[in-house]
């Protein structure tokens, strides 16, 4: 199937099995891995936890997170607006660079591949609402478990090289990014993100490949903005326009959505919302156990190897600690690194269960700044359910 004709398939047929997965704000639910959530197989994807077909909202299963690189066909999917192009012709497609530039450009994907230096960066992309359903009480929004994240090798062109080709006018300060997704209702704002020029470095790229293949359609074909260390709301998919401005432009998704309390000392509660907020940007430190999974049975005196991944916003993971006694004592896990500071760090921890019954593994990551994952009870609630990074827990049965 050609990506350009991707959405001419029967995705809409999945709607009949969806619709029962959402919760109202404040409602409680089952533990993340025990929820009754539909699973669907979309084109280019394995069966994945499915919250919506329009726009597509797909979550990776826990078993995905035993590997440092997430395969394309089980990489999570998050779109904001329901109208996604059904046909993209690469022969006519081009990305536009305009605004406060000396020369407005229209660049094809072929020109990106042939006329610029090609670069690669391995980086984690994570939805700001990942693990939202772990908050108490649960905020409104998509009730993600822990699988709204993935790590891939991205290939493309440095954004700074593209801007240098266009040339920046004096006073240029902000960059706006727009994709091809559209709202179904004309008054709904487009999904546009802005960055300050000072936020750019050589790792920010416009990518056309993901894990040595063309970008999957649902992950942003043909071009996607890659901003390592940032939450995915800044990683604009189906990128079609880059506009340089001198002033910040007020935008819904920057000014109203994807915000958290600005004052760390001000606690936000459902009946007392913080007055001063800020956009979410850099990811905090986090880990997730990929194996074993909740509810699994393991044998008494067997050799159990706990496996998972850890990451942060780019400072790098120093250690991952594992506990089997409720957090009273912690042991270091073995780490596997090598894909760079923006990528997953894999961890392994060998344990022999000597008692029958329930056994809970807990994992927490610590980065090179000394930041570590907190216990769930110590995480401050916020209205959007963003940036949850509580110590991960998996409970198995020793038989």
As a whole number of angstroms, the distance between CA 55 and CA 52 comes to 6
Please name which of 123, 107, 365, 354 lies closest in space to residue 232, comparing C-alpha atoms: 123
- Give the predicted TM-score (pTM) of the model: 0.91
As a whole number of angstroms, the distance between CA 105 and CA 242 comes to 10
Q: Indicate whether 295 and 313 sit together in one domain.
A: yes
DSSP 168: B
For residue 110, what pLDDT is reported?
97
What would the pLDDT profile of 228-239 be if each residue is shown by its tens digit?
Answer: 999 999 999 999
Q: Indicate whether 10 and 71 sit together in one domain.
A: yes
Q: How confident is the model at residue 8 (pLDDT cuts 50, 70, 90)?
A: very low
Q: What is the CATH number of the domain that holds 323?
A: 2.60.40.650
Q: Answer yes or no: is pLDDT of 178 > 90.
A: yes
Q: Indicate whether 170 and 312 sit together in one domain.
A: no
Q: How many domains is the chain built from?
A: 2
Q: Indicate whether 313 and 253 sit together in one domain.
A: no
Q: What is the CATH number of the domain that holds 189?
A: 3.90.420.10
What would the pLDDT profile of 41-97 be if each residue is shown by its tens digit?
Answer: 898 999 999 999 889 999 999 999 999 999 999 999 999 888 888 889 998 999 999
What percentage of residues in the chain have a pLDDT greater than 70? 89
Q: Indicate whether 268 and 290 sit together in one domain.
A: no
For residue 30, what pLDDT is reported?
46
For residue 193, what pLDDT is reported?
86
Q: Indicate whether 180 and 317 sit together in one domain.
A: no
Distances (CA, A) of 8 to 12, 69, 146, 327: 10, 29, 30, 51
Q: Answer yes or no: is pLDDT of 252 > 90.
A: no
As a whole number of angstroms, the distance between CA 152 and CA 342 comes to 10
Pairing of strands 95-99, 105-107: antiparallel
**Per mean pLDDT, which range of 23-32, 166-175, 184-193, 256-265 is the poorest?**
23-32
Q: Indicate whether 122 and 237 sit together in one domain.
A: yes
Distances (CA, A) of 99 to 113, 178, 374: 24, 13, 44
End-to-end CA, the chain: 46
**Per mean pLDDT, which range of 78-87, 297-306, 317-326, 338-347 is the poorest?**
78-87
Q: Indicate whether 149 and 26 sit together in one domain.
A: yes
Q: Indicate whether 239 and 135 sit together in one domain.
A: yes
Q: Indicate whether 52 and 199 sit together in one domain.
A: yes
For residue 41, what pLDDT is reported?
85
What would the pLDDT profile of 140-167 be if each residue is shown by its tens digit?
Answer: 999 999 999 999 999 999 999 999 999 9
Domain residues for the domain of 18 are: 1-282
If 0-12 CB within 10 Å is exposed, 13-18 middle and 19+ buried, where does residue 46 land? middle
Q: Indicate whether 249 and 304 sit together in one domain.
A: no
Average pLDDT, the chain: 90
Residues 72, 78, 80, 86, CA torsion sign: positive
Q: Answer yes or no: is pLDDT of 22 > 50.
A: no
The four Cα atoms 256, 257, 258, 259 give a dihedral, to 10 degrees, of 30
């Amino acid at each position: 199937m050609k990506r350009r004709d991707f959405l001419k398939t029967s995705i809409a047929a999945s709607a009949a099995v969806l619709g029962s997965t959402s919760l109202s704000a404040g409602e409680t639910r089952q533990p993340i891995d025990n929820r009754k959530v539909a699973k669907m197989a979309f084109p280019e994807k394995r069966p994945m936890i499915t919250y919506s077909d329009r726009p597509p909202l797909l979550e990776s299963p826990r078993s995905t997170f035993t590997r440092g690189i997430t395969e394309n066909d089980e990489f999570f999917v998050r779109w904001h607006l329901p109208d996604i192009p059904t046909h993209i012709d690469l022969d006519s497609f081009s990305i536009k660079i305009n605004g406060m530039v000396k020369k407005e450009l229209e660049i094809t994907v072929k020109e990106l591949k042939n006329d610029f230096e090609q670069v690669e960066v391995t980086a984690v992309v994570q939805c700001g609402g990942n693990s939202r359903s772990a908050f108490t009480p649960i905020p409104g929004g998509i009730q993600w478990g822990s699988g709204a994240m993935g790590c891939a090798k991205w290939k493309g062109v440095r954004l700074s090289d593209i801007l240098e080709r266009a040339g920046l006018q004096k006073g240029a300060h902000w960059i706006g990014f727009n994709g091809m997704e559209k709202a179904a209702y004309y008054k709904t704002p487009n999904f546009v993100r802005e960055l300050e020029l000072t936020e750019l470095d050589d790792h920010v790229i416009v990518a056309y490949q993901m894990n040595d293949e063309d970008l999957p359609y649902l992950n942003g074909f043909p071009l996607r903005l890659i901003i390592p260390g940032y939450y995915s709301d800044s990683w604009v998919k189906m990128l079609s326009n880059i506009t340089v401005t001198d002033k910040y432009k007020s935008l819904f998704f920057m000014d109203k959505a994807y915000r958290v309390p600005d004052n760390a000392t001000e606690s936000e509660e459902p009946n007392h919302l913080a007055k001063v907020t800020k956009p979410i940007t850099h990811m905090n430190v986090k880990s997730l156990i990929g194996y074993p999974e909740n509810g699994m049975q393991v044998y008494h005196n067997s050799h159990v190897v706990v496996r998972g991944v850890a990451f942060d916003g780019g400072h790098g993971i120093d250690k991952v600690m594992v506990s089997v006694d409720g957090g009273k004592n912690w042991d270091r896990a073995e780490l596997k690194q090598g894909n760079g500071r923006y990528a997953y760090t894999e961890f392994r921890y060998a344990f022999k269960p000597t008692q029958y019954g329930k056994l809970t593994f807990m994992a927490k990551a610590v980065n090179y700044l000394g930041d570590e994952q907190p216990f769930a009870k110590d995480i401050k609630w916020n209205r959007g359910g963003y940036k949850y990074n509580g110590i991960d827990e998996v409970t198995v049965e020793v038989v």
